[in-house]
Structure 1
Amino acid sequence: MNYELLEKRIHTIAFNIQQIGGDVQEVVIEPPTSHKQILQMEERLGVNLPESFKIVLQKFAGQFSFYWSLPEDLVTPHEFTESVSGNLHWSLEILPRLEEERKEWVNQVFSNMEDEYDVIWHNKLAFCEVGNGDYFAFDLIDGHDDAPIVYLSHDDGEGHGYRLANNFIEFIESWSRLGFVGSEDERWLPFTTSSTSGILAEGEAAKLFRTWLGLNI
């Protein structure tokens, strides 16, 4: 992955959002994480982090945060009435807390392994909190070196269990081309066609969205 291009893309998104009167919180791109720090975290968590996630942590940023929102009076195409903000963050150091929260949801609410909704919460590693009780997580069920990205909804959200990408690099590559729109599922669902399609950065909805916001990315 071209990380210089990714960083340029992030700042392009921020600039365009501000140009149309939107709000952009500070873009945080912290220095990469060391291999030793990753090994220590894996030992603490008791799991191996997915390979693509480790690559991004070591080559791009150990911590990343980006949030934007559009002005309330902006005329919005009907397809994107919910797609009015963008949010993504990750940090190596925050993983234990997110995992503790996910496990608490499993133990208290989603414990039934026979229930098709509950079971989606199991064998995951949460890495990004949406802020409403939902999470983005790595699906560890196959036990491979890498892991797909799935959405965990706590309240029957339509995006529950959606597979958004095959790995973390694919995830940020596709989602960045949509300005990281989200992170609530109703904000990114227009850019999928099924629970297994992933985020379609070259779909018709994505092209229309970029045109609307003037994003040449």
Structure 2
Amino acid sequence: MKDITFLLSKWGQILQKIENNNGIVHQIEIEKKATIQEIEAKEKEIGYQFPPSYKYILSNLGKSLAFYYSFSDDTIIPSEFNEIFSGEINWDIDSLQNLNMLADELMEDGEDYGATLRGKLEFSHAGNGDIYAFDMSVEGAEKPVVYWEHEEDTVTYIADSFIDYLFRITELGCIGSEKWQFEYFLSDTGLDTTSTAAAKWKRWFESFSETTIDDVKNNMEQLMAFVVYREKLDEESIDYFRKFNRNELFDYLLQELDKKESFKDQKIICEVIGKVLGNYAETWVRSLWEAKQDTMDTRLRSFLTSMCLSKNEGLTLVCNFLEHESNKKITGYDALSHLGDFYSRDVILWMENHVKFPVTEGWDELFVRSNFSWDNIERWTSLEERHEVTAIHALEKYVHEKDSANNFSFVISGLPSKSDFINFLVKLQTKQVLKKRILSLENAIQNINIFY
């Protein structure tokens, strides 16, 4: 029984550690112990003799057990283990399934997979639908634990026995049930708790703590890692970045930008450059246009241009680029991704010549993000259909943004009185034929107070 006491103690320590660091914890739930009679009845029902270590756990710990945790968003997990986000162990005697039956069903359905399920006894499953099972085809009383991937129809060896599986996964912090979370530690003999990767993970898990901005605010590298990991640059982080020497910060950010490969990481670094350094980086940003470069995504270059160069110079560069690269076949999504950060009504003027159907694929959002005025609404509803529809969907999007809790503070300038605005919308609505446009305008009318 010492082994059961040890496991329960370790599981409690793991969950307490996660909870102490603001993670999400579902505490251990254990059903009463199984009797010999219950186990024998289940064996007869299933058609297999259960492995000894599984029966030992059922009769000395519980017929079922479940617990789960996930790390807090502010826990910075080492990048080499970036697929790990949670931990889980569960089993239930009532969920046991002879997988021969499932294999037969798949064959009857004409499926060209499932043969690897034969000779397996499911005792648990992962959150993504994959299966934990005993390989009952192996000789001997004890049966190894294997993992079946439903998408690939492959079987992976996990541990020599059920009790071996519990000890191995517990030593690794009970990391998440999906294979992509624990595959860092797999070898030909299953979960390897002695590998270099396992040793590094265990050292980190033993000492990790939730990271707060106060922990990293005075260290440039740690603050950057904190922001990149959270994928969010807020005003508090910006204020702390501004306390560093600008030249040192700029040099460091360029080095980091060169190291990062993923778009989302590069985007966060570019946001720091644009929002913290602004026109201090204008010479470098201008150089991105003067020399042919293939190292930076053009969307990031456009963002930096909107933040670091003057509006006139920046808009000219980006608009010319869009027109040249697209051969004047500019999509709404392209326009939004390159011009959405200028927040300028000059963008709306440019859009007049380029907007096209479907306007809901970026054009309507760009119209909103360009701080449209009442004059813009009046003008666009008097132009061609593509302009009118853009304005209609922009009004609907404005209502949605205002109604959501995302701190959308943009106020439309020059609005007429509420009654005049309603009359305008009603007249516009009567012109529409398509139900979607009629409903969009009805939504604006019903939520007229949002505009004021």
Q: If the length of structure 1 is used for normalisation, what is the TM-score?
A: 0.85
1:21 — aligned with what? 22
Which residue of structure 2 aligns with residue 192 of structure 1?
186
Is 1:128 the equivalent of 2:128? no
1:143 CA drift (Å): 4.5
Give how far 1:106 is off: 5.1
The DSSP-based 3-state class of the residue aligned with 1:40 is helix
Task: Rate the CA distance shift 1:172–1:77 in 2: closer, same or farther, 3 A.
Answer: same
Higher helix share: 2
Are the aligned partners of 2:133 and 2:147 in contact in 1 as well (CA < 8 Å)?
Answer: yes
**1:212 Cα deviation after fit:** 1.8
Residue of structure 1 in register with 2:295 after alignment: none
State the partner residue of 1:150: 146
Return the offset for 1:144: 2.7
| Counterparts in 2 of 1:85 and 1:22: CA distance versus 1, 3 Å | same
What is the match of residue 31 of structure 1?
Answer: 32
**Equivalent in the alignment of 1:205:** 197
SS of the equivalent of 1:28 reads strand
Q: 1:52-80 CA deviation, whole Å, 9 max, x = no partner?
A: 11111112222110111112232121121
Of structures 1 and 2, the one scoring higher in RCO (CA 8 A, sep 6+) is 1
Q: Whole-Å Cα distance in 1 between the matches of residues 103 and 178 of structure 2?
A: 18
**Structure 1 unmatched ranges of 5 or more:** none
Aligned AA for 2:175? V
Contact 1:181 1:187 (C-alpha < 8 Å) held by counterparts? yes
* Alpha carbons 1:12, 1:215 under 8 Å: kept: no
Give the partner amino acid of 1:19.
N
**Paired-residue identity, %:** 27
Point out where structure 2 has 5 or more consecutive residues left out of the alignment.
209-452
Rounded Cα–Cα distance in structure 2 between residues aligned with 1:5 and 1:215:
20
Q: Which residue of 1 aligns with 2:73?
A: 72
Amino acid at match of 1:18: E
Which secondary structure state, in structure 2, belongs to the residue aligned with residue 71 of structure 1?
Answer: coil
Distance 2:164 2:101 in 1: 26
Match of 1:9, SS state, is helix
CA contact 2:51–2:142 (8 Å) conserved in 1: yes
Instruction: Report the 3-state secondary structure (helix = DSSP H, G, I; strand = E; otherwise coil) of the residue aligned with 2:190.
Output: coil
Summarize the Cα distance change of 1:106–1:10 in structure 2 as closer, same or farther, 3 Å threshold: farther
Aligned residue identity for 2:193: A
* Secondary structure class of the residue paired with 2:73: coil
Tell me the secondary structure at the aligned position of residue 33 of structure 1: coil
1:121 Cα deviation (Å)?
1.5
Q: 1:213 to 1:126 in 2, by over 3 A?
A: same
User: Residue 177 of structure 2 aligns with which residue?
Assistant: 183
* Corresponding letter in the other structure for 2:137: I
Alpha-carbon deviation of 1:7? Answer: 0.6
Alignment root-mean-square deviation, CA: 2.4
Q: What is the TM-score when the length of structure 2 is the normalising length? A: 0.43
Larger Rg: 2
Contact 1:68/1:86 (8 A) holds in 2: yes
More strand by share: 1
The number of equivalent residue pairs is 206
* Counterpart in the other structure of 2:106: 108
> What is the distance in 2 between the residues matched to 1:128 and 1:82?
21
User: 2:159 corresponds to which letter in structure 1?
Assistant: A
- State the match for 1:173 in structure 2: 167
How far has the Cα of 1:109 moved from its partner? 6.2
Contact 1:110 1:121 in 2 (8 A): no
